[in-house]
Structure 1
Amino acid sequence: MAVLDRSIVARGALGEGPAAEAVMLPPEIGFLLAAGFPYQTLAEAAETAPRCRIDAATTLLNTGLISEDVFYRALAASLGAPFLEDIRLCLSAGTQQVLEDGAAPLVQPSPRAAVSAPRGRAVAQLIEARKRSAVLPAITTPTRLRLAVFAQRADAVATEAADGLQQHFPEWSCRPGVQPGDLIVVGTVLALLFLMTSLPNGLSMSLLGLLQIVTAAMLTVRLASIFVWSRPNAVAGMRCLGDDALPTYTVMVALCREARVVDQLLLSLGRLDYPQAKLDIKFLIEADDAETAAALRRVPMPARFEVVTAPPGLPRTKPRALNVALPLARGDYLVVYDAEDVVDPRQLRLAATLFARAPATTACLQGRLLIDNCKDGWLTRLFTIEYSALFDVLGPALAAWRMPTPLGGTTTHFRTRVLRELYGWDAWNVTEDADLGIRMALAGYHVGDLPSDTKEEGLVKVKPWLRQRTRWMKGFLQTSFTHLRHPRETYGRLGPVGSFFALTLVPGTVLSALVYPLLTLWTIYQMLLGPQAEAGILSDATRMGSHAVFVGGLLAMVLPALVACRRRKRHDLMLWTLLLPFYFGLVSAAAWLAVFELARHPHRWNKTEHGLARTSRSGARLTRSGLRSASPAPRPIPAMAAAG
């Protein structure tokens, strides 16, 4: 019989003894018993749901005990309503509203006025409504409803994802891009750098002194960061929130031509120590990425996994894909991962706990990024050291000081409401994470530290490394031009100290990279080969400044790196820190390439290819040969059960 009462009690189905006690099946899953679904499975979901404080239907679907299609077909049969596969909607409300409601009117003439794809407790409400109404909506799955909405609103979805920030906060959007005046400023600065030695002595010394002051400011921030001690062990024994207190968490992963790392990604996400019923995992792909779509289809995934295809449009960037999925996020918190990431299983639970204890102004938690294939070559070793200095030393210091923080592109955890308040990411900024960190500071929020690791794949060859780093530098330039359009307003929002840090960490990063080889060669020339300069206060000051910046620069490169290696117990990498001056020569080359690319292709996204690692220090990464290191394999994603 169809089960439409408030609950159903089945006895004896589990045999004799204590386990045979009656388990009440809530109405949102009770109807499945009449459809032939095993009672034991339904009882398991009914018992698990209260412990997590979530409904039984979501528990059943998200844990893979039943497929979405089977569930909603059975719901339609129990209600006596048609199940729709092909849907033609009559849309008047916005996309987000329709998907939040899980219902929309149908194009007439139609046997039913509307179609519904209820989630969670809305299933029980719909079953209850049958007692009061003879006419119920047609039923479909949430996935089919979303596909129908996206098909009919493709242009609107694409436009909002690309230009929503510009429409609502034009002063914070990098559109319409770099203006002629910006290029004139950049050209003038570069011309002065090249002509510095031929300028009159007083003017050249003044410009050199100004460069030294800017460079010294950035060095001061990096050197000061080594005195802020972040203790990962302090949270290692922290009592995290229990399953009942944890909120729903959205996980977003943007994929573009990433078929080779899909298996590794699914294994990593399948190990998350978080209630499956409270996970909302979204894979974001482009409409023409057939290879990645096929790789995802090969794996049967429970309903907590969802593949969202971004409608065709420009720009073809990661932030646009994230903006497409942001209205679909069901979690109170949201995290962004990259395709090649191997995530600490405990990370979401720890982040939710820290968010619960943090003030409401903590809008984001930045996790720690580690290069996992550091033994692949000299470049990956230096990349490992740089990342460790950034995420184990500088990042925690900025969080402790509550200063503006250019975010990393992955393992960034957000309060979802803040992301929506700020209209997501700037789709036209190729370093959207750094820009979002500055925008959060401008809106009065700050970034906290999350001492939890995510393992990334470092690039082995110089050419792809330069392409990636050029994009990062270009995005820093875009962010600088965007938020310096109205310097007085930016200063008013950030204050003197916040403005100093923002200038130091964003435009200062690019400028210091541009002048790094010039100042270095100038100083070495003066110290070793140059004749004695004409005596004078200005000349003496700049000469002393050159020496101070040179020594300070070396210390700012090496000391944070050594501190980071010590904190990570990576003593094998300490000698490699001596090569950092040469490594930052590559950073300088990327900065110069970024300047020229900004003028020619301001919004081009240099794609980074993943899945090429040859080694894996953690044993968690698939190698190029396709073999897995000798480490315990994570549990696979639960297979979906069939009804009956």
Structure 2
Amino acid sequence: MSLVYETPAVDPLEASAPAGAPLSALVEYSFLAEAQLDPAALAHACRVSEQWGVPPHEVLIASGHITEEAYMAALASSAGVAFLPRLPEGGAAAPGKANQRQCLTTGVLQETGPAGRLLLGFSCLRPFAMRALLARLAPRPVALVPPRELRRALAECFGSSLAQGAISALKSRRPNLSAYRPASTWQARTLVLGCLALVAAGLTAPLATAYAVSIGLAFVFVPVIVFRLLAAFALTRRGPHEAPEDAARVADRELPTYTILAPLYREAHMLRPLLHALSQLDWPAAKLDIKLILEAADTNTVAAAHGLHLPANVELLVVPDTGPRTKPKALNFALPMARGDYLVVYDAEDRPEPDQPRRAYQAFCAGPPNLATVQARLNIYNPETNWLTRQFTIEYSALFDGLLPLLDAMHLPIPLGGTSNHFRVEALKWLQAWDPYNVTEDADLGARLSRLGYRCTVIGSTTYEEAPVRLGGWIRQRTRWLKGFIQTWLVHMRAPRTLLRELGPRGFLAFQIMIGGTILSALVHPWFYGLLALELAGGGLLALPQTVLGFPFWTVSLFSLVAGYATAMGLGALALRHRGLDRLLWQVPLMPLYWLLISVAAYRAVWQFIVAPFKWEKTEHGSQAQTRPPR
């Protein structure tokens, strides 16, 4: 069964409009009579073009009243130049001495072969302006090409260099910030020597070692407890229902072009719901630049995407099959072809609220000049599937409604979520974009943003995602996340004093809590249960301590355990109430069981980091019952 793209529920051209188009537009677009365009549609397009701030033909194309091919063919015929509906493989190259950047910026290629015609495929110029350009280029031979076809040719022409740049840009220009080298020499030596010393101490004096390590870890977790308390207090002050940001609605004509990057891998069945969700976004269709990023090795998804009837603002990009096969590499490949001033990343299962791009753009306009990223909040649209999805919902609610807004309010580094990150494209390119070797590229990019003086803020708009419904898929996803946290911590701790200077003491501490603390807590959590089990088996759990180290050990450890559980559960409960998910409150006492599963994934992540640091375990999404957008 072929998939069919669903057009927006409301066609802007169906709105009420004057009976006829302005005389100037009738003259300028008279050549479209050959394409049998309804004059009433042109009249409507002229009105909407004034609202959107784009030429009328872009409105006609975006609304589906005429195709790119039909428009460019009619324009070429009226201007007396050739029209090429499709370019053969290898049929275009860079004109003259133009480099890749110039070609991608101008959207101009040259036909290979004896004809050597310039290939123009941009639609931003009105017909009179395009004719004036063609007159200036005369007598040089020119051919018009549909814009999407020319962009496909650009990706084909520069595919190898784009793929190479996607892999090597960060590691060649800022190698100290790339996870290509998993750990520095001093880090590897320190970790090995530390483990050996701990084993030796444990064999020599096991009880004293256990006491000392546990006390040390308890003090390490005190800042985490304090941070959760602050987040919970901030949630109580915001109340159960948070109002949207108070900002005037920006007129459509003043909105810039917005690029959406949507990487997909083995997700042919997710194309239709994703496109439907993107069609609901409150943004002029002619100013949306949607790029579906596919992998060449994923032939099923590529074939399904080519079988879709896609609107003019949706473009397919196929990434060459080169390692590492990761999401950040795919995003890096597409970034040079982004036409927008702003950019957002959505995953295949994402269902963003329709007003999200507007709220993100308003945040950019109201924020400081160094605001480079806006993070939307993430939550789950299938929380009732099973126990795992309920716990996942509690975790996401606490993180994105509690902890990240606190980091934002305190101007601290924010570990970005893997989706719904809105960027200034200029700043993203300056950062060398994503690290293709980091399997949790979002958290790493958040740290790099802060280190280089950029800000990130969190907005109230939500993107709903699908939580894994099977334990195996959940374990693989969490393994990848925690492995990426290990990579991120090691990369940014290669030079601790430099990190401290760039982030400042508060930012440095926040980085240790959110990145290092997440890894450490997951690794040591089961050991507290082990020690409790030993004490219980020995009958000494409720007895008075018999050694000097015993009393402080139990005092600090029990405080850490009780306070840690209480603050985590309290924050989770408040976040659920803030979301209006009171029906899940009964799941809060079961959170410790969920944390034990996280510990299983953490040890699997450590092993995988050693044997396969760049392995990307794809999370499977899209059962039939969970591809519907939330109500």
Flag whether TM exceeds 0.5 (same fold): yes
The answer to whether the Cα contact below 8 Å between 2:35 and 2:70 also exists between their aligned partners in 1 is no
Specify whether residues 276 and 599 from structure 1 end up closer, same or farther in structure 2 by C-alpha distance, changes over 3 A only: same
**Equivalent residue runs for 1:267-306 within 5 Å:** 267-306=276-315
Deviation string 1:375-413 (CA, Å, 9 cap, x unpaired) is 111111111111111111111111111111111101111
Specify whether residues 176 and 568 from structure 1 end up closer, same or farther in structure 2 by C-alpha distance, changes over 3 A only: same
**Equivalent residue runs for 1:238-637 within 5 Å:** 238-523=247-532, 525-526=534-535, 529-530=540-541, 532-536=544-548, 538-612=549-623, 614=625, 620=629
Tell me the SS of whatever aligns to 2:131: helix
The answer to whether the Cα contact below 8 Å between 1:102 and 1:119 also exists between their aligned partners in 2 is no
- For 2:231 and 2:26, how far apart are their aligned partners in 1? 54
Q: Is residue 2:165 matched to residue 1:156?
A: no
- For 1:517 and 1:46, how far apart are their aligned partners in 2? 66
The answer to whether the Cα contact below 8 Å between 2:82 and 2:144 also exists between their aligned partners in 1 is yes
Q: Is residue 2:217 matched to residue 1:208?
A: no
The answer to whether the Cα contact below 8 Å between 1:61 and 1:67 also exists between their aligned partners in 2 is yes
Letter in 2 for 1:65: H
Tell me the SS of whatever aligns to 2:24: strand
Deviation string 1:174-212 (CA, Å, 9 cap, x unpaired) is 113345654444445555666665443665544333222
The answer to whether the Cα contact below 8 Å between 1:183 and 1:599 also exists between their aligned partners in 2 is no
Match for residue 125 of structure 1 among 122, 129, 134: 129
The answer to whether the Cα contact below 8 Å between 1:322 and 1:425 also exists between their aligned partners in 2 is yes
Letter in 1 for 2:358: R
The answer to whether the Cα contact below 8 Å between 1:28 and 1:57 also exists between their aligned partners in 2 is no
- For 1:327 and 1:368, how far apart are their aligned partners in 2? 27
Specify whether residues 94 and 480 from structure 1 end up closer, same or farther in structure 2 by C-alpha distance, changes over 3 A only: farther
Letter in 1 for 2:92: R
The answer to whether the Cα contact below 8 Å between 1:218 and 1:509 also exists between their aligned partners in 2 is no
- For 1:249 and 1:116, how far apart are their aligned partners in 2? 22
Aligned twin of 1:81: 81
The answer to whether the Cα contact below 8 Å between 1:431 and 1:472 also exists between their aligned partners in 2 is yes
Q: CA deviation at 1:459?
A: 0.9
Query: TM-score scaled to structure 1, two decimals?
Result: 0.88
Task: Structure 1: give runs of 5+ residues left out of the alignment.
Answer: 1-13, 622-630, 632-644
- For 2:47 and 2:201, how far apart are their aligned partners in 1? 75
Specify whether residues 563 and 383 from structure 1 end up closer, same or farther in structure 2 by C-alpha distance, changes over 3 A only: same
The answer to whether the Cα contact below 8 Å between 2:202 and 2:209 also exists between their aligned partners in 1 is no
- For 1:325 and 1:498, how far apart are their aligned partners in 2? 31
The answer to whether the Cα contact below 8 Å between 2:37 and 2:66 also exists between their aligned partners in 1 is no
Q: CA deviation at 1:265?
A: 0.9
Deviation string 1:595-637 (CA, Å, 9 cap, x unpaired) is 0000100000001111126468xx626xxxxxxxxx7xxxxxx
Specify whether residues 227 and 196 from structure 1 end up closer, same or farther in structure 2 by C-alpha distance, changes over 3 A only: farther
Task: Structure 2: give runs of 5+ residues left out of the alignment.
Answer: 1-13
The answer to whether the Cα contact below 8 Å between 2:473 and 2:619 also exists between their aligned partners in 1 is yes
Specify whether residues 140 and 389 from structure 1 end up closer, same or farther in structure 2 by C-alpha distance, changes over 3 A only: same
Q: CA deviation at 1:359?
A: 1.2
- My pick for the range that moved more, 170-179 or 390-399, is 170-179
- For 2:221 and 2:60, how far apart are their aligned partners in 1? 57
The answer to whether the Cα contact below 8 Å between 1:376 and 1:615 also exists between their aligned partners in 2 is no
Q: CA deviation at 1:120?
A: 0.5
% same residue: 35
Aligned twin of 1:224: 230
Specify whether residues 199 and 556 from structure 1 end up closer, same or farther in structure 2 by C-alpha distance, changes over 3 A only: farther
- My pick for the range that moved more, 390-399 or 71-80, is 71-80
The answer to whether the Cα contact below 8 Å between 1:516 and 1:588 also exists between their aligned partners in 2 is yes
- My pick for the range that moved more, 218-227 or 444-453, is 218-227
Query: TM-score scaled to structure 2, two decimals?
Result: 0.89
Q: Is residue 2:115 matched to residue 1:110?
A: yes
Deviation string 1:500-529 (CA, Å, 9 cap, x unpaired) is 000111122101110111134325655874
Letter in 1 for 2:49: A
Tell me the SS of whatever aligns to 1:301: coil
